[in-house]
Chains A and B, each alone.
Chain A
Amino acid sequence: MEVTGAQALVRSLECQGVDIMFGLPGGAILPAYDPIRSSSLRHILVRHEQGAGHAAEGYAWATGRVGVCMATSGPGATNLVTALADAYMDSVPIVAITGQVPTAMIGTDAFQESDITGITGPITKHNELVTDAARIPAAIAEAFHIASTGRPGPVLVDLPKDILQAQTTWSWPPTMDLPGYKIPGAPDKSLIEQAASLIREAKRPVLYVGGGVIKSDSSAALRELAEHTQAPVTTTLMARGAFPDSHPLALGMPGMHGTYAAVMALQECDLIVALGARFDDRVTGKLAAFAPKAKIVHADIDPAEIGKNRKPDIAIVGNLAETLPAFATVMRAEIDANGPVDTAEWVALTDGWKRSYPLRYNQDADGPLKPQHVVERLSALTGGDAIIVAGVGQHQMHASQHYSFTKPRSWINSGGAGTMGFAVPAAMGAQIGRPGELVVAIDGDGCFQMTAQELATCAIEGLPIKVLIFNNGFLGMVRQWQELFYDERYSEVHLGTAIPDYVKLAEAYGCVGLRCEHQGDVDGVLEKALSISDVPTVVDFRTHDAEGVFPMVPAGRSNDDLVLGPEFSAAEQQAATRKEVIAK
């Protein structure tokens, strides 16, 4: 059957099982937009291509499926760059389709030409400039295969206008031609057995759980493993929700703004079992001083992560969807043979740390509104039964710290790239992927203003996301660093709380706008916002402008130098130092 390249593209997407895509048309991609009209694809018209990219990411985070975004050549494509870089850092499976100038004009500095495959080479898992219409089905099939298998990531397919207009013969499925693409096979069971004996020998084991556990949907097996090994569990920023925060073995988030118990447990343990984690600098602090006494078991799907930052004693390369159930089974057999693992003394120690040095803040009844309080009330009112989306900065850390996560895929944020402006469009994508569920974006006033235009998209598409702006009038995290490390010399961080008027802005975008300035009003306002199910809701929480995020490990310092923060006395801080802990 004869079709155009554009028709082949749309049919390929349909055959690939795509039902939602996010995009914005323009000159070079125009041919693709014509067959979309008569296709089964639901195309969400965004207001800025960056929003399409983050929406595709939010959709992928929330559903585990591949998110799809589309843009035209030149600026349309370059507007996707931030989202692609974000997806690459956080291993989010998305496929980006971009228009390109006609093949004969490539290299001539034609109108809206940019070398998008060259630009995105270092920030995509793969990309391709397609130069033959007959290759379109294979290019699309390969893009989805590469994005979603192995360590997931973004793939870009660049389609010149003449290729979209050319006639070709349609057939499906295409033959994929990927002789160099390697997906790790099954994990080596003997290595898992060796890891189990290391756990048996360990006195102080910790599970260091990363985003790979979420991506491989292996939370249930993780829980089994944790309960068999009786090892305390830390969940990184990418893994919040992989293990319930209410579980007795849960220590919360490790790293720069991690809980004291999680940070100290990693520093003091004698065995780290790293599961789908990459020893990121925000987790390890100064690498040479990280977990100095620990042996390392590192299980990951990406062989290049093994030994990249910390050399493991045992490396188990494979998909955690296979590794974790196998690990749990081996550990079960080990226990059946040799009796339960006794970590009672170690767990009692970490429990003591949780009690002595919890996340602490001070909310006076008539004092300034604290962001932590809003998160805690949201957590209580939703019972963990919501999808929480965050941007980047103080609000993100407060959300991760104070929301009590109960299940995987209920936390979506920009981890590795630290992309401000992520939350609103990502929430949009999550809401489309999981209609009928409660999607709450927790955002900062700085972040919100970077991508707020997608509220229009949400309102028109009837997506009832909630956006809770923690409006402290500052680029708060930068302000905090200037306070601590630049002697309170505040430089270009003050945004002001009054402009824009977020309530009016919300209303102008067809959303409900609410404002909350006092602690006593938080529950009422949240309940009202959570009850609205037909349009998006924006809440302007006027939060304390001098509130910091604590605990904190100063950048580049050892995790031993964790600062508990102003709510702890000097004596408490002194008693909490690792030297004192070791002395005890």
Chain B
Amino acid sequence: MTTHTLSVLVENKPGVLAHVAALFSRRAFNITSLSVGPTTDPKVSRMTIVVDGASTPVDQVHKQLEKLIRVLKVTELAEDEAIERELALIKVRVNPELRAELVDLAASYRANVVDLGSDTIVLEAVCSPGRLDALLALLEQHGTCELVRTGLIAISRGDGTITDDSLELAMASA
């Protein structure tokens, strides 16, 4: 799958998520994940949107997002120039005989055991997307009974920041 990761800075105002969601629906864009959270500036939120490039014209997603009034800036993060992470909480059924093997497996993926039940354990894993999929495939053999993922977040490598250029100018003139 050819996924593209868009970092989108938006005004932290009511209705912004609805406008973004309405755009994706209106234009029949397929998204793989969307995560939203605050930034260092309380007036600005950051969305990370992963788009399936095979079914959706990424250039159009980018340009149409730019047209939304509450969207401040859209940046596509190339895979090799970005650090991409996703947090997953995974509840796995535990066969007592395989408990040690499971804990070793978790450790090799730097997943923490965050809860222990009588028949299950909950793992917390923070991985790059491919690595998380690999862990999940291995855990499947033990019996994953519940999974929750945050969706991808990403940040560029190196010294540059998303707020480097036009955004600050736009905010200053407003």
Contacts and interface: CB of A to CB of B under 8 A. Distances in A.
A179 interface: yes
Main secondary structure of the interface of B (DSSP, over half): helix
Interface string A286-324: 000000000000000011101110000000000000000
Interface string B1-37: 0000000001100110011001101100000000000
Contacts of A180: 10-11, 68-73, 170
A304 B29 CA distance: 14
Contacts of B170: 179-180, 182
A418 interface: no
A122 B15 CA distance: 13
A289 B71 CA distance: 36
B174 A177 contact: yes
A122 B26 contact: yes
Nearest to A118: B18
Given A117-B15, A179-B171, A304 B60 contact: yes
Give the residue among B72, B171, B174 with the most A Cβ atoms within 10 A: B174
Nearest to A123: B26
A146 B70 CA distance: 12
A121 B71 contact: no
Contact of B15 (A125, A128, A306): A128
Main secondary structure of the interface of A (DSSP, over half): loop
B66 interface: yes
Interface residues of A, number: 24
Contacts of A125: 69
A81 to B, nearest CB: 14
A126 interface: yes
A122 B70 contact: no
Interface in B45-73: 59-60, 63-64, 66-73
Contacts of B26: 121-122
A303 B71 contact: no
Interface range on chain B (Cβ under 8 Å from partner): 20 to 34
B34 to A, nearest CB: 16
Given A121-B18, A180-B10, A303 B69 contact: no
Contact of A179 (B18, B66, B72): B72
B67 A304 contact: yes
Given A117-B15, A121-B22, A122-B26, A181 B69 contact: yes
B25 A146 contact: no
A115 to B, nearest CB: 9
B35 to A, nearest CB: 20
B60 A308 contact: yes
A306 B171 CA distance: 27
A179 B11 contact: yes
Give the residue among A118, A126, A180, A308 with the most B Cβ atoms within 10 A: A180
B67 A121 contact: no
A3 B72 CA distance: 33
A121 B19 contact: yes
Contacts of A381: none
A575 interface: no
Contact of A146 (B11, B69, B174): B69
A465 B125 CA distance: 70
B136 to A, nearest CB: 35
8 contacts: A122-B22, A180-B71, A182-B170, A302-B67, A303-B63, A304-B60, A304-B66, A307-B59
Interface of B: 10-11, 14-15, 18-19, 22-23, 25-26, 59-60, 63-64, 66-73, 170-171, 173-174
Given A180-B69, A304-B63, 16 more contacts: A121-B22, A121-B26, A122-B23, A122-B25, A125-B69, A127-B15, A146-B69, A177-B174, A178-B69, A178-B174, A179-B171, A180-B71, A180-B170, A182-B66, A303-B63, A303-B66
